[in-house]
Amino acid sequence: EAGVAQSPRYKIIEKRQSVAFWCNPISGHATLYWYQQILGQGPKLLIQFQNNGVVDDSQLPKDRFSAERLKGVDSTLKIQPAKLEDSAVYLCASSQRVGGGPNEQYFGPGTRLTVT
């Protein structure tokens, strides 16, 4: 079974530029998560999709961050314009269940973003 795929693995941009990250979850997983992980911290949930609908985006800085999952499969996360404090690893995860029961999340390798 293929894992969660993410690209690119690394990205360096200047502040005020835009950037996009792509994620392809494990086949059949209904729920997709985007996390931001700043060095030395635990992951912070940015947005959670269930199929192609948003379940939770309460911590997404909506003035600059956007995400979509149009067909309920892969997803893109965009930052426009980037700030220095956006430098972090962006992790994508997926889980199988929609409702009821345990729901472990499986993570991709992440995209390391450096904003200069």
Q: Which residues bind another protein (CB under 8 A)?
A: 4, 6, 31, 40-45, 48, 50, 55-56, 91, 93, 95, 98-100, 102-110, 112
Task: Report angle CA 2, 114, 58 to the nearest 5 degrees.
Answer: 70
Q: Which is nearer to another protein, 19 or 93 (by Cβ)?
A: 93
- Tell me how far apart the terminal alpha carbons of the chain are, to the nearest angstrom: 37
Distance in Å, CB of 3 to another protein, minimum = 9
Distance in Å, CB of 44 to another protein, minimum = 8
Distance in Å, CB of 16 to another protein, minimum = 27
Distance in Å, CB of 56 to another protein, minimum = 5
> Tokens at residue 106, please?
């499986």
Rounded to whole angstroms, the Cα distance separating 45 from 62 reads 13
Q: Is-contact 36 43, C-beta < 8 A?
A: yes
Rounded to whole angstroms, the Cα distance separating 28 from 106 reads 13
